[in-house]
């Protein structure tokens, strides 16, 4: 699940990669003046040597931050860095055009693109907003035929794009699609049939339409190079016999995550073929309907015990808890466990979790209640990341987890770095406790599901709790707030959240001051997403000094007007200011429903749908 | 089955189409997985052809509406063209008046919400309140179908439905009632000796029985799957059926 962690969990990035072109040009102009003055005296030869040496050295530079810095030294370094950059990361696919990217980086092997803003996941934006992979695949097909790896997040990929990908890049090895859509099983079929060197096909939380094509059968015959096959999000039945044969002829397969159409009996057969797996997604983890015809149950325990390298376990999509004991043999080795689709109780969890001493990443449903969390806290001393999802994602549902479980975790799991916690009730005291117990926190996302809900015990706003987090957790880079919050909470964030790069705000704050505190106080802020908060044009203007340093700003259902947004657009020519209406809204009222703005070298995009107005 | 008819009227479609739409089979709810050749042509466009977004929208709407999960509701939402409500309303009268649900809050991805909703669906299906889905196979037919036995009130209705489902394959003439007359021993034996098809079912004990020997409701509760087999093959079942008939008479 490391792939799913956002890039905020990585080291901080400066200067930003997607806009270093302009700053480069500005800088190198000044620099090369003096450099070229020097080199005029020298012959070409030393320059050439220097560049060759540089090229060999820069090959070893992998961090994109370091590369961005290196490219700023002088024109020569810029050129060589561009030649040696093999992994290209573009955090906003509209910040730079495919043409510009391929013109500068000609030898790219891996492309990492991100598209839609995150709030689009929650239906806050009509579909077909954009983020199409198509222009990218076409541009790279022409310019970088040795591209081997593509990683896309929140982009629209069509079947044709998949075909182009497979046909244009002969040595293509890895495709990872996270939260993508626009393609179906027929696209997958073409892709796998033509990618003879394929090592990795990871489909993670993507929407795959069921074209009733048997794509598993389309993997070429003969030994496959597959190392990772993740398709747990594919919501259509697959040809199991074909899958079994595929696994049997994939000796390098390490990661296999099955979808819910694979029964536990079928899982058994696969595990027997592939005991070398390190990552396993179990599929449904229940018997198929036709089972129980008097067939003997396979020995699941032995099958799991044979997988001595298994460290990451997920799936359990339609779990029958009776089968849980099968995983006992491997609990002690697990570093990552995803139970977030398994509606299990604390009692069912305890025998498992009490053996998971090495667990670092744990995703679970709140069905385990505070009691289950206490069990986690008691055993999982190495826990780095915890995500607790709601079984019933509604504002007024019963809350099986609360500040009790939260505090228990903070006391037991001192090495915690990342937490996402959905609950119905919380107290400042528990949040303050966590800020003290878990000083290594980098990601803190607390979602109190009831809007404007105060401290459950004191009735106070949750200001002090979040304030303590930004004060005490000195490494914090990502923060999501909730509950009843006044401007004071944002004052704290602005004052202490000096490393915060991503901030998510919903139904919070009293006035423009809140947003001002943040925009003026957080120099590292790159991604700001706000919904349903009383921030208006004045607040928006207070961030003018900072917007070029940010990847994007999202504000929906706030108090922005067209004039206000227009002002920003005029003041900042390199910013694309999109005003997004909901799909059925015809009239252009003065109030802006959704503002999405981002820096870009290309100006307004030409693929904006009707409901988007670019100011 | 009163409920069944009411639902049909709600949809405002004729019975045939209604049956087709409410039929549950493998695949995404609302999506059309297998279409039997010779059945009436699909007139309603599936969410698939309109793009996947329709599905996630409608399921999201389902959650907002907090209605009892059934594909009938799902289809109704499809007809509504997936219009997004800014604040859903609790249409289920059984639940206490809930706070209006706001779009996209709590921030759980539709992907995850859908999965949890589907899980709830399947657990309800296996309960008594849900549908009684059984697989129906017919000897010689290339694929299976599924029927919800709770949709029918009598063997007659079931027989009509099965006949329509497998109408492209040879079905014997069962006489004016449509299905074999279970109570008529001699007629039964005639039929079993012919090459016409008879329906059989697997009951809770795992035994294969001839359809029709127990009262309808008992049949619905005990039937696990249906198989339409050639009359001649069903001979082996008949004695048992006769025994059960006789023991009841």
Q: Is A198 left (phi over 0), alpha (psi -120 to 50) or beta?
A: beta
List per-block mean pLDDT (blocks of 10 residues) for chain B, which spans 249 residues.
Answer: 43 44 48 39 38 40 37 38 36 48 88 82 56 80 81 82 70 45 54 67 84 83 85 64 52
Is A395 in Cβ contact with B106 (below 8 Å)?
Answer: yes
Contacts made by residues A466-470, CB under 8 angstroms, sequence distance 24+: A466/A431, A466/A492, A466/A493, A467/A492, A467/A493, A467/A496, A468/A428, A468/A431, A468/A432, A468/A435, A468/A436, A469/A431, A469/A434, A469/A435, A469/A441, A469/A444, A470/A495, A470/A496, A470/A497, A470/A500
Is residue A291 within 8 angstroms of chain B, CB to CB?
A: no
N- to C-terminal Cα separation, chain B: 27
- CA of A438, closest CA in chain B: separation in Å? 25
In a domain, A544, yes or no: yes
Chain A 231-260, CB below 8 Å of chain B: which residues? 233, 235-237
pLDDT tens string A126-147: 889 999 999 999 999 999 999 9
pLDDT tens string A142-164: 999 999 999 999 999 999 999 99
Residue that is written with structure tokens 């806009």 in the block? A19
Please give the Cα distance from A497 to A466 (Å, whole number): 10
In a domain, A480, yes or no: no
In a domain, A496, yes or no: yes
Domain of A497 in residue numbering reads as 468-475+487-614
Residues 6+ apart with CB under 8 A from A285: A264, A267, A315, A316, A317, A318, A319, A320, A323, A342
Contact residues on chain B for A123, CB-CB shorter than 8 A:
57, 60, 84, 103-104, 110
Residue that is written with structure tokens 């090369």 in the block? A32
Best A316, A395, A399, A481 residue to mutate vs chain B (most B CBs within 10 Å): A395
Evaluate if residue A435 carries a pLDDT over 80: yes
Please give the Cα distance from A154 to A133 (Å, whole number): 10
Evaluate if residue A589 carries a pLDDT over 80: no
DSSP letters spanning B160-225: HHHHHHTTTS------TTSS--TT-HHHHHHHHHSS-EEEEEE-TTS-EEETTSS-HHHHHHH--E
pLDDT on residue B192: 54
Number of neighbours of residue B53 by Cβ within 10 angstroms: 19
Q: Average pLDDT, stretch A203-221?
A: 94
Residues 6+ apart with CB under 8 A from B210: B182, B198, B199, B200, B234, B237, B238, B240, B241
* Residue A149 main-chain phi, psi, to 5 deg: -135, 135
Is B106 in Cβ contact with A393 (below 8 Å)?
Answer: yes
Please give the Cα distance from B170 to A299 (Å, whole number): 44
Is A212 in Cβ contact with B33 (below 8 Å)?
Answer: yes
In a domain, A147, yes or no: yes
Q: Is the ipTM of this complex over 0.85?
A: no
In a domain, A225, yes or no: no
Say which CATH number the domain at A208 has: 3.80.10.10
Average pLDDT of the residues of chain A: 89
Quick one: tokens of A241? 């016999």
Of the candidates A196, A219, A242, which is a domain's last residue? A219
**Helix pair angle (A134-143, A159-168), 10° resolution:** 10
Contact residues on chain A for B26, CB-CB shorter than 8 A:
237
Of the candidates A193, A219, A245, which is a domain's last residue? A219
pLDDT on residue A81: 82
Question: Which H or E run includes A161?
Answer: helix A159-168
In a domain, A109, yes or no: yes
Best A393, A581, A585 residue to mutate vs chain B (most B CBs within 10 Å): A393
Please give the Cα distance from A518 to A170 (Å, whole number): 48
Q: Average pLDDT, stretch A296-325?
A: 93
pLDDT band for position A452 (cuts 50, 70, 90): very high
Please give the Cα distance from A553 to A515 (Å, whole number): 12
Question: Which H or E run includes A603?
Answer: none
Residue A612: strand, helix, or coil: strand
Please give the Cα distance from A551 to A93 (Å, whole number): 11
- Residue A177 in contact with residue A138, Cβ under 8 Å? no
Please give the Cα distance from A173 to A166 (Å, whole number): 10
- CA of A187, closest CA in chain B: separation in Å? 15
* Residue A12 main-chain phi, psi, to 5 deg: -70, 150
Please give the Cα distance from A33 to A39 (Å, whole number): 10
Quick one: tokens of A120? 């689009």
β-strand A149-153 against A174-178: which pairing, if any?
A: parallel
| Residue A412 vs residue A611, higher pLDDT | A412
Is residue A157 within 8 angstroms of chain B, CB to CB?
A: no
- Residue A308 in contact with residue A275, Cβ under 8 Å? yes
Quick one: tokens of A462? 């949750």
pLDDT on residue B44: 38
Partner residue opposite A393 with nearest CB, options B57, B98, B113: B113
- Residue A100 in contact with residue A603, Cβ under 8 Å? no
Of the candidates A197, A219, A241, which is a domain's last residue? A219
User: Is CATH 3.90.1210.10 what the domain over B133-230 is classified as, yes or no?
Assistant: no
Say which CATH number the domain at A506 has: 3.80.10
Please give the Cα distance from A572 to A544 (Å, whole number): 8
pLDDT on residue B190: 59
Q: How far is CA A365 from the centre of its chain?
A: 20
N- to C-terminal Cα separation, chain A: 39
Question: Which H or E run includes A373?
Answer: helix A369-379
How many folded domains does chain A comprise? 2
- Residue A139 in contact with residue A165, Cβ under 8 Å? no
pLDDT on residue B211: 84
Domains of chain B by residue range: 133-230
Is B84 in Cβ contact with A583 (below 8 Å)?
Answer: yes
pLDDT on residue B12: 39
Evaluate if residue A536 carries a pLDDT over 60: yes
Contact residues on chain B for A205, CB-CB shorter than 8 A:
109, 111
Buried b / exposed e along A499-528 (16+ C-beta atoms within 10 A)? bbbbbbbbbbbbbbbbbbbbbebbebbbbb
Quick one: tokens of B67? 């209605």
β-strand A228-230 against A478-480: which pairing, if any?
A: unpaired
pLDDT on residue A497: 96
Is B107 in Cβ contact with A207 (below 8 Å)?
Answer: no
Confidence (pTM): 0.71
C-alpha distances in angstroms, B145 versus A394, A597, B1, B20, B133? 36, 51, 21, 11, 10
Q: pLDDT exceeding 90 applies to what percent of chain A?
A: 78
Q: Is A122 left (phi over 0), alpha (psi -120 to 50) or beta?
A: alpha
Best B47, B105, B131 residue to mutate vs chain A (most A CBs within 10 Å): B105
Is residue A422 within 8 angstroms of chain B, CB to CB?
A: yes
pLDDT on residue B215: 84
Closest CA to A416 of A349, A476, A338, A353: A476
Please give the Cα distance from B9 to A603 (Å, whole number): 54
H helix runs in chain B, sequence order: 2-11, 15-22, 47-50, 53-65, 71-79, 110-126, 155-165, 185-193, 216-222, 238-248
Best A158, A187, A209 residue to mutate vs chain B (most B CBs within 10 Å): A209
Please give the Cα distance from A553 to B120 (Å, whole number): 37
Is B102 in Cβ contact with A123 (below 8 Å)?
Answer: no
pLDDT band for position A251 (cuts 50, 70, 90): very high
Nearest CA in chain A to B83: A584
C-alpha distances in angstroms, A588 versus A141, A489, B24, B84? 40, 34, 43, 18
Question: Which H or E run includes A596?
Answer: strand A594-599
In a domain, A569, yes or no: yes
């Amino acid at each position: 699940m490391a792939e799913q962690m956002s890039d905020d969990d990585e080291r901080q990035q400066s200067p930003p990669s997607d806009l270093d072109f302009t700053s480069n040009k500005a800088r190198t102009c000044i620099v090369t003046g003096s450099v070229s003055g020097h080199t005029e005296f020298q012959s070409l030869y030393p320059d050439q040597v220097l560049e060759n040496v540089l090229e060999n050295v820069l090959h070893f530079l992998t961090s994109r931050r370091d590369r961005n810095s290196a490219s700023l030294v002088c024109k020569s370094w810029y050129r060589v860095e561009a030649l040696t950059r093999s992994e290209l990361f573009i955090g906003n696919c509209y910040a730079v055009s495919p043409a510009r990217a391929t013109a500068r980086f000609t030898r790219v092997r891996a492309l990492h693109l991100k598209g839609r803003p995150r709030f689009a996941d929650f239906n806050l934006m009509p579909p077909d907003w954009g983020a199409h992979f198509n222009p990218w695949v076409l541009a790279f097909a022409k310019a970088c035929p040795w591209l081997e790896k593509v990683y896309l997040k929140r982009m629209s990929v069509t079947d044709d794009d998949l075909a182009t990908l497979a046909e244009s890049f002969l040595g293509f090895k890895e495709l990872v699609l996270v939260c993508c859509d626009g393609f179906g099983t027929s696209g997958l079929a073409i892709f796998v049939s033509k990618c003879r060197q394929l090592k990795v096909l990871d489909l993670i939380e993507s929407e795959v339409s069921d074209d009733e094509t048997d794509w598993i059968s389309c993997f070429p015959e003969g030994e496959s190079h597959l190392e990772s096959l993740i398709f747990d999000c594919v919501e259509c039945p697959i040809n199991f016999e074909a899958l079994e044969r595929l696994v049997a002829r994939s000796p390098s397969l390490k990661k296999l995550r099955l979808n819910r159409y694979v029964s536990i009996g079928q899982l058994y057969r696969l595990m027997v073929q592939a005991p070398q797996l390190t990552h396993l997604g179990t599929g449904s983890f229940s018997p198929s309907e036709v089972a129980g015809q008097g067939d003997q149950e396979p020995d699941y325990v032995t099958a799991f015990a044979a997988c001595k390298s298994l460290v990451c376990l997920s799936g359990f999509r339609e779990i029958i808890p009776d089968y849980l004991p099968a995983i006992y043999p491997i609990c002690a080795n697990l570093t990552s466990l995803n139970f977030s689709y398994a509606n299990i109780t604390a009692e069912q969890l305890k025998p498992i979790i009490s053996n998971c001493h090495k667990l670092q990443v744990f995703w679970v449903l709140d069905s385990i209640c505070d009691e289950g969390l206490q069990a986690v806290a008691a055993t999982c001393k190495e826990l780095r990341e915890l995500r607790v999802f709601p079984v019933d994602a509604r504002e007024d549902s019963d809350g099986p987890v609360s500040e009790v479980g939260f505090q228990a975790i903070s006391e037991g799991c001192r090495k915690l770095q990342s937490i996402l916690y959905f609950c119905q009730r919380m107290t400042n005291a528990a949040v303050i406790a966590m800020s003290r117990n878990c000083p290594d926190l980098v990601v803190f996302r607390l979602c109190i599901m009831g809007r404007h809900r105060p401290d459950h015990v004191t009735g106070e706003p949750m200001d002090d709790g979040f304030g303590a987090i930004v004060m005490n957790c000195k490494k914090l880079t990502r923060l999501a707030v909730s509950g009843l919050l006044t401007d004071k909470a944002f004052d704290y964030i602005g004052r202490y959240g000096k490393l915060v790069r991503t901030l998510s705000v919903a139904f919070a704050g009293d006035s423009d001051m809140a947003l001002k505190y943040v925009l003026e106080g957080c120099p590292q802020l790159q991604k700001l997403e706000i919904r349903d908060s009383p921030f208006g044009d004045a607040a928006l203007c207070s961030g003018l000094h900072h917007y070029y340093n940010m990847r994007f700003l999202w504000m929906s259902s706030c108090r922005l007007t067209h004039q206000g947004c227009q002002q920003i657009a005029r003041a900042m020519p390199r910013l694309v200011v999109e005003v997004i209406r909901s799909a059925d809204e015809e009239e252009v009222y003065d109030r802006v429903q959704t503002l999405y703005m981002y820096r870009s070298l290309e100006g307004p995009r030409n693929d904006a749908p009707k409901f988007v107005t670019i100011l | 089955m009163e409920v069944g008819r009411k639902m049909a009227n709600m949809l405002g479609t004729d019975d045939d189409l209604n049956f087709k739409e409410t039929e549950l089979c493998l695949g995404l709810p609302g999506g059309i997985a297998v279409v039997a050749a010779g059945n009436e042509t699909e007139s309603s466009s599936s969410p698939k052809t309109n793009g996947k977004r329709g599905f996630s929208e409608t399921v999201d709407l389902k959650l907002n509406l907090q209605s009892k999960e059934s594909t009938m509701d799902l289809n109704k939402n499809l007809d509504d063209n997936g219009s997004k409500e800014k604040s859903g309303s609790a249409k289920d009268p059984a639940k206490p008046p809930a706070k209006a649900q706001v779009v996209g809050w709590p921030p759980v991805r539709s992907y995850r919400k859908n999965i949890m909703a589907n899980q709830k669906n399947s657990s309800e299906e296996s309960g008594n309140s849900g549908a009684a889905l059984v697989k129906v196979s017919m000897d010689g037919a290339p694929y299976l179908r599924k029927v919800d036995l709770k949709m029918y009130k009598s063997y007659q209705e079931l027989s009509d439905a099965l006949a329509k489902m497998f109408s492209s394959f040879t079905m014997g003439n069962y006489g004016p009632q449509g299905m074999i007359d279970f109570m008529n021993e001699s007629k039964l034996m005639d039929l079993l000796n012919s090459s016409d098809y008879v329906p059989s079912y697997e009951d809770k004990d795992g035994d294969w029985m001839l359809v029709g020997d127990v009262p309808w409701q008992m049949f619905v509760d005990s039937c696990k799957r249906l198989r339409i087999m050639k009359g001649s093959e069903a001979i082996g079942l008949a004695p048992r059926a006769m025994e059960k008939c006789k023991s009841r008479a």
